[in-house]
Chain A
Amino acid sequence: DIQMTQSPSTLSASVGDRVTITCRASQSIDNWLAWYQQKPGKAPKVLIYKAATLESGVPSRFSGSGSGPEFTLTISSLQPDDFATYYCQQYDSSPYTFGQGTKLEIK
């Protein structure tokens, strides 16, 4: 099975900061990687797919990059609505594993 390792687990930042979250795959997944945002008590919402493609309706301050095995999610200028937990997921092969999550907190 492919393991997805996300870092950091927690990130403290301020409004306006640029932040980066990293996800590393244990084997090749080409670019079959998605990023999700989840807020407390809510279902996850997809932000990025195929490593770098922005989902429709997602603000352009979110961007994804990288290719196997390391990928990054960058938020260029944090907004108050962005404080949430972020997950990567590989969908190259079953089981379609998630990373363990990164909680983005207000500093």
Chain B
Amino acid sequence: QVQLVESGGGVVQPGRSLRLSCAASGFSFSNYGMHWARQAPGKGLEWVAVISFDGNKKYYADSVKGRFTISRDNSMNTLYLQMDSLRGEDTAMYFCASSAVEFLTGSYLGYWGQGALVTVSS
């Protein structure tokens, strides 16, 4: 069955960096666009970034543009989110999710991981 497992979360000081990983299994990872979304404690969902199936297209929310970088390694079935210059407002549960439609970057989110918690605090 499809599994998406996030890792790399933790507590980090403001201004520092953190890299999240999302290990995928149970589907043809290299055929699907992949997304990151986040949810601050007690708040709603916020879409963060997407990368196309081949890694050639990347789009970001305005709130993270220039600070976060999405990437993927199709040989390792792994998605990444490099988060630099972290701020308190980046504190959230970060979910990776797959596009629901093969080869489409702009798609609804089909499968989701269980999330990795990132806390930005001094």
Contacts and interface: CB of A to CB of B under 8 A. Distances in A.
Contact of B45 (A1, A44, A93, A94): A44
Given A89-B109, A96-B50, A101 B44 contact: yes
A46 B107 contact: no
Interface in A1-53: 1, 32, 34, 36, 38, 42-46, 49
Given A44-B45, A101-B44, A93 B100 contact: no
Given A44-B112, A45-B112, A46-B110, A95 B45 contact: no
Interface residues of A, number: 25
Interface string B27-67: 00000000101000000111100100000000111100000
A99 B47 CA distance: 10
6 contacts: A1-B62, A43-B97, A91-B106, A100-B44, A101-B44, A101-B45
B44 A43 contact: no
A49 B84 CA distance: 33
B38 to A, nearest CB: 11
A31 to B, nearest CB: 11
Contact of B47 (A32, A38, A49, A95): A95
A87 interface: yes
A36 B45 CA distance: 10
Contact of A98 (B46, B110, B112): B46
Nearest to A100: B44
A92 B108 contact: no
A98 B45 contact: yes
A96 B37 CA distance: 10
A97 interface: yes
Given A46-B100, A87-B45, A101-B44, A95 B109 contact: no
B13 interface: no
B113 A43 contact: yes
